[in-house]
Each structure stands twice: as C-alpha cells, then as structure tokens.
C-alpha cells in the first residue's frame, strides 16, 4: 500500500507511518515508507547492513512473523536540510520470543530524502541498547542521551 502523499509531506509524517506499520505488523506500509531505489540500507541491531528493497522487505517480514511489535519512540535529535533529514530516536520495544517477552531500549538513526513522491526513508540503522527479560515496562527504562 503506497503512503498517501499527504502522509509524506514531512520526514515526521513518513517516520510516523513507518513506526505505525511496525505497530500493526503491516509490511506493505513499512515498505511504502522507503525510497524506491536500491541504494536504501537498513542495519538491524547487531546485524550486517542490508542493501536494497528486497533484503529490507525480508527483514521486516521475518521481524513481524509473530505479530505486531509493541513500540514507543522518543526523539533525541532532529536535523532538517533542504532535501535531507536525519532523526536520532530511542525505540522502546517489546517482542515475544521463544524464551518469552523481551524488552529493549534501542537507538536508531533514520535518514530521509525528499523525492518526487515526497519524503522517503533511505537509511534505518538500529543499535542494540538496554535489553531486559520483560519484567520492566518499555516506558520505565532509563533514558540515555546520545551524542
């Protein structure tokens, strides 16, 4: 499902649509947020860079196999230029694993470019952060300032 043009008017709009796609386990919405070229890159926590839309689609398809992800995002920094925006965010994530509930505080860098179709995601890099066994609610995890 393509992202309607009014939802891609700003980098914030496309970022919101991306995370909503994760919340609703909607791979089509997630992928509609990405720029339509093979130079896009996604680096999962502790993983190798994945280049191209096909590899990124597989990553997110596999990620949401067990259903939606409980997620809360807070911004720590935003930079907006004429045709590029960079957002640094903290992702408070809760997922079900084979071992039970896992809660993590991850750090992500989202890079957006303004395209003829509106703003689109061109890079998403997530670094591992604080992980617990699920006994701590994501919003209760300590905040970390990135530099």
Instruction: Dump pLDDT digits (tens) for 54-81.
Output: 999 999 999 888 777 889 999 889 999 9
Reading the block at residue 114, the tokens are 């303004």
DSSP letter at 1?
-
pLDDT at 135: 47
pLDDT in tens, 86-144: 999 999 998 777 788 778 899 999 999 999 989 999 999 999 886 555 444 444 433 33
Q: How confident is the model at residue 51 (pLDDT cuts 50, 70, 90)?
A: very high
Say which residue the tokens 């093979």 belong to. Answer: 38
pLDDT at 31: 96
φ, ψ dihedrals at 101, nearest 5° = -75, 135
The domains of the chain, with CATH numbers, are 5-140 (3.10.450.50)
Alpha-carbon distance values, 125 to 34, 134, 135, 136 (Å): 13, 24, 26, 24
Reading the block at residue 97, the tokens are 């694993």
Predicted model pTM: 0.82
């Amino acid at each position: 499902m393509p992202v309607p043009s009014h939802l891609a008017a700003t980098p914030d709009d496309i970022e919101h649509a991306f995370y909503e796609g994760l919340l609703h386990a909607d791979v089509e919405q997630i992928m509609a947020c990405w720029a339509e070229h093979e130079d896009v890159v996604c680096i999962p926590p502790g993983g190798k860079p994945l280049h191209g839309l096909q590899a990124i689609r597989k990553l997110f398809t596999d990620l949401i196999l067990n259903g939606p992800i409980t997620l809360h995002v807070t911004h720590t920094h935003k930079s907006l230029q004429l045709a590029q925006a960079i957002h640094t965010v903290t992702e408070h994530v809760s997922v079900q694993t084979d071992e039970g509930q896992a809660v993590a505080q991850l750090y992500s860098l989202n890079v957006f470019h303004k395209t003829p179709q509106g703003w689109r995601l061109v890079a998403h890099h997530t670094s591992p952060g604080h992980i617990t066994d699920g006994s701590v609610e994501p919003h209760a995890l300590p905040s970390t300032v990135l530099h």
